[in-house]
Amino acid sequence: ARENVVGIHLSGGSNWVGGLSAGQGNTISGNAQTGLWINSFNNVVAGNRIGTNAAATAAIPNGVGILVDRDASANDIGLDLPGSENVISGNVTGIRVRGERTSIVGNRIGTDASGLAAVPNQTGIILLGTLNEVEDNWIGFNTTHGIWVAGTDMASLYTNTIYHNGQDGIRLGDAESGSALPTSGVMIRRNTLFENGGLGIRFDTPGVNSGIVPPVLTYVTRTAAVGTACPSCRVELFISDHDPSGFGEGKTLVASVLASADGAFSATYPEALTYCHSITATATDNDRNTSEFARNVD
C-alpha cells in the first residue's frame, strides 16, 4: 500500500469503473479514507477488487471500500451479468451508502472471489440512504455485521447469502450517533442466512420496521406448518440452522404463503423434511416491513 486519501472520486455521472471482460477490472486498495467515492449519477462499478490484492486473496484495506454519498443516485455496484461481480473485502467498511437508488448486485463482500474463504471487512454493508437494493450477493466472514441498515426507508434485501459474519447477519438500528432509525419499508425476503455470530435478523430498537413482530409457529410437521402472523402478511418459512438463541437463522427457504385477514396461515413443503430439522419464519406486511425470525419449532 502507498496511501492516497481517496483512490477514485466520481463527481460526474455515467462512468464505468471496471468492466465485464477479463482485464477490465481495477484493484482499488490501500487508500486511507475511501477506495471509490461516488457522489454522482448512473455510474456502474463492475469486475473490480476493492480492498484486496489483485488476486483477491489477501487484504490491502481501504477505510471504506465504496462510499455512495448523499448526492448520489441510480448507481450500480455489480450487475446481473457474468463478470460484473466486484470483490469488496478487507476494508473497515465494505460499502457505505448515503445516497438513493443504489443497486448492489452479485458481489463478494468479505470473501475471496470464490466466496469460500475469508478476506473480512469489519462491516460488510452500511445502508443510510433511501430506496436502495441489495440482491444476490455473498456477504460472509465480516467481523461485525453482514448488513447494517440505519437511517433509511424502503430498502430491499433480496436473495443474498449471508453467512459466518461475526455478529448479526442483518441488523436494523442506529449505525451512527444521531442517525435516524429505519422506520418502515425494509424488506428482507428469500435470503439464505446461517452461522452468523449473532441473530440472523436483529432489530436494535422497538418500533424499527413499524414494530412488525415475527410469526408464531403453533404446529410443525415434516410436511407442513401452521401458525399466526400479522393480517394478510407474506410468511416465509425456512429450515433453521439451529441457532443457540432459539430464534434460528433461515438457511433454506421451504415455503412462502399469505396469511389470512385474521393472521392465520398454513403451508406445505414441496419435499418432506427430515426429523432433525427445525423451522423458523419471517413475516412481511403490505408496507414492505419484514420481521425478525420466529422462534424455532422442531
pLDDT digits (tens, 9 = 90+) for 14-35: 999 999 999 999 999 999 999 9
Residue 82 reports pLDDT greater than 70: yes
Confidence of residue 47 (pLDDT cuts 50, 70, 90): very high
pLDDT at 184: 82
Q: Picking from 77-81, 131-135, 224-228, 276-280, which range would have the lowest pLDDT averaged per residue?
A: 276-280
Cα separation of 290 and 209, whole Å?
7
Cα separation of 120 and 41, whole Å?
29
> What does the pLDDT average to over 106-115?
98
pLDDT at 151: 75
Hey, is 293 helix, strand or coil?
coil
Residue 178 reports pLDDT greater than 60: no
Give the three cell numbers for residue 189: 425476503
pLDDT at 32: 98
Compute φ and ψ for 97, nearest 5 degrees: -115, 115
Cα separation of 211 and 292, whole Å?
10
> What does the pLDDT average to over 38-65?
98
What's the chain's average pLDDT? 94
pTM for the whole thing? Answer: 0.96
* Share of residues in the chain with pLDDT > 70 (%): 97
Give the three cell numbers for residue 72: 448520489
Q: Picking from 41-50, 56-65, 207-216, which range would have the lowest pLDDT averaged per residue?
A: 207-216
Instruction: Report whether 217 contacts 295 (CB < 8 A).
Output: yes
pLDDT at 180: 59
Within 10-89, residue ranges assigned H as helices are none
Instruction: Convert the pLDDT of each residue in 192-223 to its tens digit.
Output: 999 999 999 999 877 889 999 999 999 999 99
Q: 107-111: long-range contacts (C-beta < 8 A, 24 or more apart)?
A: 107/77, 107/78, 107/137, 107/138, 108/56, 108/137, 108/138, 109/137, 109/138, 109/139, 109/140, 109/142, 109/146, 110/139, 110/140, 110/141, 110/142, 110/146, 110/165, 111/87, 111/138, 111/140, 111/141
Instruction: Convert the pLDDT of each residue in 241-266 to its tens digit.
Output: 888 889 989 999 999 999 999 999 99
* Nearest residue to 43 via CA among 7, 6, 70, 12: 12
